[in-house]
Amino acid sequence: MSGKMTVVEGSYAVAHSVKVCRPNVISAYPITPQTHIVEDLSQFMADGKIPNCEYINVESEFSALSTLVGASATGARTYSSTSSQGLELMHEVLFNASGMRLPIVMTVVNRAVSAPISIWNDHQDSISQRDTGWIQLYAENIQEMSDMTAQSFKIAEDKDVMLPAMVCMDGFILSHVFEPVILLEQELTDEFLPTYDPEHVLDTRNPLSFGTFADPSTYTEFRYLQQKGMDVALGKIEKAAEDFKTIFGRYYGGLIEPYMAEDAEILLMAMGSVVGTIKDVIDKARSQGIKVGLIKVRTFRPFPVEVIRSAVSNAAIVVTLDKNISIGLNEGALFTEVKSCLYNSDINVPVMGFMLGHGGRDIPMSTIQMIIDKAAQAIKSGIKVESEYADLRGELL
């Protein structure tokens, strides 16, 4: 079991986690608000604190991930971090990393996408990469982010998974916050995370190829097997959380974390740091007798369909909160996914979607309270608007 809390910046805690996971190759290009993570890692490298590791400086995010694709194929444990436009620039390489079954781990410090330019937080950057074949995990606070980083290496590198993983933290809100955290101990991390030992590597003595040509007679099967890897990852994510609990004594749920959910009539669903604010609002609402609860979605890819079905089955209404929008559908991704996994099931729970906190718009408790009020109204008189912004400034339109 581990120990001592210290007050550090979120980015530092993540860089520290990466360090104790003993990466062999790090490559990244600085972009706000990810910058502090790569600065801290560069400092660790300069101080000789990450043995057997090379930090490769590059001229773009495209090159950073391309570098890691090559490095990972040789059997190296690899890490990168980026945000927003940097992640979008990686788009093409994201598919390659997944298709070649390379367990690269990347911290995505979530930031809105341009235009207009915004350095502030929402989830549009990572959500826009949902179909690239990367595992996507979302953290609520620095401790969870710190711990999830170590878990992600174990999940991604599992022989039956072999898929890259994005670990997502809210830009500024988590990357720049100072709060008490237990930094991962090296000894315990070594116990938790085995050495990366892939079955197939680039090796001149035993030549093979990655990412080669697949004609129509074989391509489909490659894609099918990527999905199989994701299916297996569901169980491995839960197992990694359990293994972590055994060694470190901390646990946040596996695929989801229910909060006051069991008897909840109104069941909120959200990802990332807003979950903390929601929990505080729920405590307040509960003290007024309102039966509201929360499902924190930790794992967005693979999407935990079965777990979510059973988690929502007793609610009177499910309400999703999304820091992203599919423009043209007017829905956030969580809303779309949750509806999709309930359809064709025997669960008939209405689902309402709210989008909020885009481009760094602050989410005060009052916004969450308003959403709960609207959900309570919808239980009585039906859903009037299926999906809408919770914090739109009508006076600007």
Least gap, CB of 386 to other proteins (angstroms): 26
The residue within the footprint of other proteins, chosen from 34, 84, 110, 273 (CB under 8 A), is: 273
The region of 88-96, 156-164, 167-175, 339-347 touching other proteins under the rule CB under 8 A is 167-175
Sole binder of other proteins in the list 39, 54, 179, 388 (CB under 8 A): 179
CB of 163 closer than 8 Å to CB of 156: yes
Could you give the C-alpha distances from 130 to 91, 334, 337, in angstroms and in order?
A: 11, 11, 11
Binding range to other proteins, per CB under 8 A, among 36-44, 57-65, 100-108, 269-277: 269-277
Determine the size of the site formed for other proteins (CB under 8 A).
Answer: 26
Backbone angle region of 112, left / alpha / beta, with phi > 0 → left and psi within -120 to 50 → alpha? beta
Q: Which of 1, 7, 327, 397 binds other proteins (CB under 8 A)?
A: 7
Q: Which window, 119-127, 261-269, 285-293, 307-315, contacts other proteins (CB under 8 A)?
A: 119-127
For other proteins, which residue of 160, 242, 280, 306 counts as binding (CB under 8 A)? 280
Distance CA(233)–CA(354), nearest Å, equals: 29
Alpha-carbon distance of 275 to 338, in angstroms, equals 17
114 interacts with other proteins by CB under 8 A: no
Nearer to other proteins among residue 194 and residue 276 (C-beta): 276
User: With binding defined as CB under 8 A, does residue 39 bind other proteins?
Assistant: no
Closer of 163 and 363 to other proteins (Cβ) = 363
Residues 314-373 touching other proteins, rule: CB under 8 A, are: 360, 362-365
Give the residue among 294, 306, 168, 170 at the shortest CA–CA distance from 238.
Answer: 306
**Residues in Cβ contact with 251 at an 8 Å cutoff, skipping those fewer than 6 apart:** 241, 242, 244, 245
Among 120, 134, 153, 192, binds other proteins (CB under 8 A): 120
List, edge to edge, every strand of the sheet that includes 135-138.
54-57, 25-28, 78-82, 105-110, 165-170, 135-138, 299-301
Chain position carrying tokens 């030549």: 207
Contact call for residue 5 and other proteins (CB under 8 A): yes
Concatenated DSSP letters for 18-46?
A: HHHT--SEEEE---TTTHHHHHHHHHHHH
Residue 173 is a binding residue for other proteins (CB under 8 A): yes
Q: Rounded to 5, what percent of the chain is helix, strand, coil?
A: 40, 20, 40
Give the separation between CA 362 and CA 230, rounded to whole angstroms: 34
Give which of 172, 183, 205 is closest to 75, Cα–Cα.
205
Q: Are 244 and 250 in contact (CB under 8 A)?
A: yes
From the list 180, 214, 221, 373, which residue makes contact with other proteins (rule: CB under 8 A)?
180
Q: Does 3 bind other proteins (CB under 8 A)?
A: no
- Complex with other proteins: residue 236 or 279, whichever CB lies closer: 279
Near other proteins by CB under 8 A: residue from 134, 172, 192, 303: 172
Note the maximum CA span of the chain: 70
Told to check if 231 binds other proteins by CB under 8 A, we report no
Residue 121 or 149 having the CB closest to other proteins: 121
For other proteins, the closer of residues 101 and 361 by Cβ is 361
The residues of the shown chain that bind other proteins, judged by CB under 8 A, are 5, 7, 9, 119-121, 141, 170, 172-173, 176-180, 273-274, 276-277, 279-280, 360, 362-365
